[in-house]
C-alpha cells in the first residue's frame, strides 16, 4: 500500500484488533444463530430492564440536572478550547449536523409510529380518547426531549472540554484524565476505547438496518421496487454506503456539513407542508398545550418508575427504559461527533443549544406528524392508522395518503430518510476512524472505505439472517455499564472545571501587593529559589518571630495584651490576642510543603530544584480563613500584613450583625439561655 499521507494506515492496533474480534464474534452468533442468540440476549436485557431500571432513571436524571447546573453556574463561560477560540462552524451548520447525527432516521421512523402506538396501546385502553391523545403526545415529548439530549450532551461536553481545553485526543479515555492521569494512555484507556468502538458499530448498524427496511417499504409503496427481498435491500445499502463513504472522505467541513444543511431544509419544507394542509388549528393548539403539559409534568415524568401501577410496567420497560438505554448506547458515537464540531463554544452555549434547540424542534416535529395522525385516525381514517400502529415501516407513508400530493410527499420522505441515512453513516464512519486512530490528524482514505465496508457488510449479513434484533439487544445491554462510565465523566468534569476556574481566577499572591520596583532583584531571587524545611524553620524563628515580638511590644503601649505561641510539629509561630467574650485574634505562620510534579523537575528552563518537595511559610488565622504564602515578606511587611487583619477583626467585631460569627462564647451562652428557658416551660 502506498506510504503517502493520504493512504498511510494510522489505526491503533491495541484498539482496532480487539474491537474487530469482538464485533466479528458477536455478529457471527447474531447471523448464524439469530434465534438462540436473540433469546439469550433478550433474557439478559429483560433482567436488566426489570431489576435495574432504576439505574437508568437515576443516571438520566443526574445527566439532566447536571447540565442545567453547568449552564447556570460560574463554569458556563468556560470555552471548549483556548480562551480566544472561535467556533469552527456557523450556528446553523452546527445545529444541523448535531441534529442529523443525533436523531436523524429515528424522527422519520417514530414521528407517526410512537404517538399512534401510545394512543392505541391496550395499557391505556381504559382512558378516554382525549386523555389518551394528550398522554401519547406527552410520552413522545418525554422520550425525544431534554432527557435524550442530556445523554448526548454529557459525552459531547466531556469530550469537547478535555480535547480542546486539555489538548488531549478526541477519545473517551481522555474524559478520565483527572481520575486516572497518565494511566489513560495504557490498558484501561484501550478498554474504554474498545468499548466505544464496539458500541458505535452496533448502534449505527442496527439503526441503519432499520432505516434500510423503511426506505425499502417506501419504495414499494410508491411502486418503485416490486418487493422487500434481500436483493433490493442489498442495492439500497450498497448505494447509500458508497455515498456515505464519499461524503466522509471529503470531511466534516464539506460533505457532512452540506448534507446536513440539505437535510434540515428538506425537513422544514415537509414540516411546513403538513402544517398547512393538515389540521392546522389543531396542530398549533395541541403543540401549545403539549409544551405546557411537558413543563408541568417534567419532574413527575423524570422520576416516575410506575412502581404503583404494575400493569403499566411492561410498557415502561418497552418504551422509557428502552429509550434511555438506546440513547446511552448511541452516546459514544453521537458524543464524539458533537465534540468534533463544537470547538470554540462556551459551556453555556453548548448546553443551551444541545438541550433546548433540538428538543424544541423534536416537539414541533412530533406534534405536527403525531397529533395530525391521531386527528386523522379519529376523524378521517376511521381507526385505520391505529390498526397498523405496530408496523412503523409503512405507517408514515400510510399517514401521508390522507393528505394532498401524497406521492410527492412520500418521495420527499424517502429522500429525507436517505439523506439521514447517509449523514448518520458518514458521521459514523468519521467517528469510528477517530476512535480507532485515537483522533489521528492524518487519517487514510483507505481506512474510511474500510469502515464503510464494515458497516455495509454487518448490516447486510444481519438483514439477510434476521439478526438485527439480537444485535439491538446487545447494544441495549451495553448501555448499563456505559451509564456508570458517564457518571464518572461528570465526576471527572467537575474536578477539571474546578481546577480550570481557579487557575484563571487566581489573583497575584497577597505579599506581591507590597512590592516596589526598588527591590525587584531580591524578589526575583526569592521567586526562583525553592526552600527546604530547614530554611523555612529558620525564617520562622528569625523574621516571623522578630516581627511578632516587635508588634507585641507596641501593642502593650495601648494596653493590649498579646502572647507569642510557638509549636514544633509542624513548626509554627503565632501572635494571639485573647478576649473574654469575642473570639481571640490569631495570626500565625506555619511550615508547609508541596510536592512538585515530575514535569516541573525535568523541565530545563525552570528554576533548579534539589528535591521533589518544596517548603514555604503559610499564614493562618483564628477564624480558619484560607492563608497564603508569606515567603516574600520582610519583617516590616509582615507586621503591616498582621495589622491589616487586625483592623479587619476590629471592624467586624464592632458590628452587631456579626455576633454569631465573632464569638463562640456568645453562641454558647445563647444556647445555655435557650436551654434553661426550655426547661422552665
Nearest-CA neighbor of 141 among 343, 301, 307?
301
User: Which region among 199-203, 534-538, 647-651, 659-663 has the lowest average model confidence (pLDDT)?
Assistant: 659-663
Q: Give residue 3's pLDDT.
A: 43
**Is the pTM for the entire model greater than 0.85?**
no
User: Which region among 105-119, 419-433, 630-644, 659-673 has the lowest average model confidence (pLDDT)?
Assistant: 659-673
Q: What angle do CA 85, 86, 91 make, to 5 degrees?
A: 145
Nearest-CA neighbor of 152 among 319, 333, 302?
333
Neighbours of 347 (CB within 10 A): 23
How far is it, in rounded angstroms, from Cα 133 to Cα 372? 11
79 is written with which cell numbers? 470555552
pLDDT at 72 over 80: yes
Alpha-helix runs per DSSP H in 52-173: 53-72, 91-102, 104-110, 113-120, 129-144, 146-164
Buried b (16+ CB within 10 A) or exposed e, 450-475: bbbebbbebbbbbbebebbbbbbbbb
Q: What CATH architecture is 13-503? A: Up-down Bundle (1.20)
662 is written with which cell numbers? 465573632
How far is it, in rounded angstroms, from Cα 506 to Cα 618? 17
Bridging pattern class, strands 571-577 and 585-595: antiparallel
Residue holding cell 426531549? Answer: 145
Where are the domain boundaries for CATH 1.20.1740 in the chain?
13-503
Helical axes 406-436 vs 91-102, angle rounded to 10°: 90
**Band of the pLDDT at 641, cuts 50, 70, 90?**
very high
Are 414 and 316 in contact, with CB atoms under 8 Å apart?
Answer: no
pLDDT in tens, 272-314: 999 999 999 999 999 999 999 999 999 999 999 988 888 889 9
- 582-to-556, 656, 661 alpha-carbon distances in Å: 19, 11, 9
The three-state secondary structure class of 229 is: coil
Longest CA pairwise span in the chain (Å): 107
Alpha-helix runs per DSSP H in 368-444: 372-379, 384-387, 392-400, 406-436
pLDDT at 467 over 70: no
Amino acid at each position: 500500500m502506498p506510504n503517502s499521507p493520504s493512504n498511510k494506515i494510522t489505526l491503533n492496533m491495541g484498539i482496532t484488533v480487539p474491537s474487530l474480534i469482538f464485533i466479528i464474534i458477536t455478529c457471527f452468533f447474531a447471523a448464524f444463530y439469530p434465534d438462540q442468540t436473540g433469546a439469550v440476549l433478550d433474557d439478559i436485557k429483560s433482567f436488566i430492564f426489570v431489576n435495574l431500571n432504576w439505574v437508568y432513571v437515576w443516571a438520566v436524571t443526574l445527566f439532566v440536572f447536571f447540565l442545567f447546573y453547568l449552564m447556570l453556574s460560574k463554569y458556563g463561560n468556560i470555552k471548549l478550547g483556548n480562551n480566544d477560540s472561535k467556533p469552527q462552524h456557523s450556528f446553523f451548520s452546527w445545529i444541523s449536523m448535531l441534529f442529523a447525527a443525533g436523531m436523524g432516521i429515528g424522527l422519520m421512523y417514530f414521528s407517526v409510529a410512537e404517538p399512534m402506538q401510545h394512543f392505541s396501546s391496550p395499557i391505556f385502553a381504559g382512558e378516554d380518547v382525549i386523555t389518551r391523545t394528550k398522554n401519547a403526545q406527552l410520552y413522545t415529548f418525554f422520550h425525544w426531549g431534554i432527557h435524550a439530549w442530556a445523554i448526548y450532551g454529557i459525552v459531547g461536553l466531556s469530550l469537547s472540554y478535555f480535547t480542546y481545553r486539555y489538548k488531549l485526543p478526541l477519545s473517551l479515555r481522555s474524559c478520565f484524565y483527572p481520575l486516572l492521569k497518565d494511566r489513560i494512555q495504557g490498558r484501561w484507556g484501550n478498554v474504554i476505547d474498545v468499548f466505544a468502538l464496539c458500541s458505535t458499530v452496533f448502534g449505527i448498524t442496527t439503526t441503519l438496518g432499520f432505516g434500510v427496511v423503511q426506505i425499502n417499504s417506501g419504495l414499494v409503496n410508491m411502486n418503485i421496487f416490486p418487493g422487500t427481498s434481500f436483493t433490493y435491500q442489498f442495492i439500497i445499502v450498497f448505494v447509500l454506503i458508497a455515498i456515505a463513504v464519499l461524503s466522509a472522505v471529503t470531511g466534516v467541513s464539506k460533505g457532512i456539513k452540506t448534507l446536513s444543511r440539505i437535510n434540515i431544509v428538506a425537513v422544514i419544507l415537509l414540516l411546513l407542508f403538513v402544517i398547512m394542509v393538515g389540521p392546522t388549528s389543531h396542530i398549533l393548539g395541541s403543540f401549545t398545550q403539549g409544551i405546557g403539559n411537558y413543563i408541568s409534568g417534567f419532574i413527575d415524568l423524570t422520576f416516575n418508575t410506575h412502581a404503583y401501577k404494575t400493569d403499566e410496567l411492561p410498557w415502561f420497560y418497552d418504551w422509557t427504559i428502552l429509550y434511555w438505554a438506546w440513547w446511552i448506547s448511541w452516546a459514544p458515537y453521537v458524543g464524539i461527533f458533537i465534540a468534533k464540531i463544537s470547538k470554540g463554544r462556551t459551556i453555556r452555549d453548548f448546553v443551551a443549544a444541545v438541550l433546548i434547540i433540538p428538543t424544541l424542534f423534536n416537539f414541533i416535529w412530533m406534534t405536527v406528524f403525531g397529533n395530525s395522525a391521531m386527528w386523522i385516525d379519529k376523524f378521517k381514517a376511521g381507526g385505520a392508522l391505529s390498526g397498523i400502529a405496530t408496523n412503523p415501516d409503512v405507517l408514515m407513508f400510510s399517514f401521508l395518503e390522507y393528505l394532498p400530493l401524497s406521492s410527492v410527499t412520500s418521495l420527499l420522505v424517502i429522500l429525507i430518510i436517505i439523506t439521514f441515512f447517509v449523514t448518520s453513516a458518514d458521521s459514523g464512519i468519521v467517528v469510528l476512524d477517530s476512535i480507532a486512530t485515537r483522533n489521528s490528524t492524518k487519517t487514510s482514505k483507505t481506512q474510511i472505505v474500510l469502515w464503510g465496508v464494515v458497516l455495509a457488510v454487518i448490516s447486510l449479513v444481519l438483514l439477510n439472517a434476521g439478526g438485527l434484533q439480537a444485535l439491538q439487544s446487545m447494544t441495549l445491554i451495553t448501555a448499563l455499564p456505559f451509564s456508570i462510565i458517564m457518571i464518572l465523566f461528570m465526576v471527572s468534569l467537575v474536578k477539571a472545571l474546578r481546577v480550570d476556574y481557579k487557575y484563571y481566577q487566581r489573583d497575584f499572591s497577597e505579599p506581591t501587593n507590597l512590592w516596589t520596583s526598588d527591590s525587584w532583584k531580591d524578589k526575583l531571587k526569592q521567586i526562583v529559589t525553592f526552600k527546604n524545611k530547614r530554611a523555612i524553620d529558620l525564617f520562622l524563628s528569625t523574621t516571623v518571630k522578630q516581627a511578632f515580638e516587635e508588634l507585641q511590644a507596641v501593642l502593650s503601649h495601648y494596653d493590649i495584651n498579646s502572647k507569642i505561641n510557638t509549636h514544633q510539629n509542624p513548626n509554627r509561630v503565632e501572635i494571639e490576642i485573647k478576649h473574654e467574650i469575642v473570639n481571640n485574634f490569631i495570626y500565625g505562620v506555619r511550615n508547609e510543603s508541596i510536592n512538585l510534579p515530575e514535569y516541573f523537575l525535568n523541565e530545563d528552563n525552570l528554576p533548579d530544584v534539589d528535591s521533589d518537595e518544596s517548603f514555604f511559610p503559610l499564614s493562618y488565622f483564628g477564624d480558619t480563613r484560607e492563608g497564603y504564602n508569606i515567603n516574600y515578606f520582610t519583617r516590616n511587611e509582615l507586621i503591616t500584613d498582621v495589622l491589616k487583619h487586625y483592623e479587619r477583626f476590629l471592624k467586624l467585631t464592632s458590628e452587631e450583625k456579626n455576633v454569631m460569627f465573632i464569638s463562640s462564647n456568645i453562641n454558647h451562652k445563647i444556647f445555655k439561655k435557650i436551654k434553661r428557658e426550655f426547661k422552665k416551660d
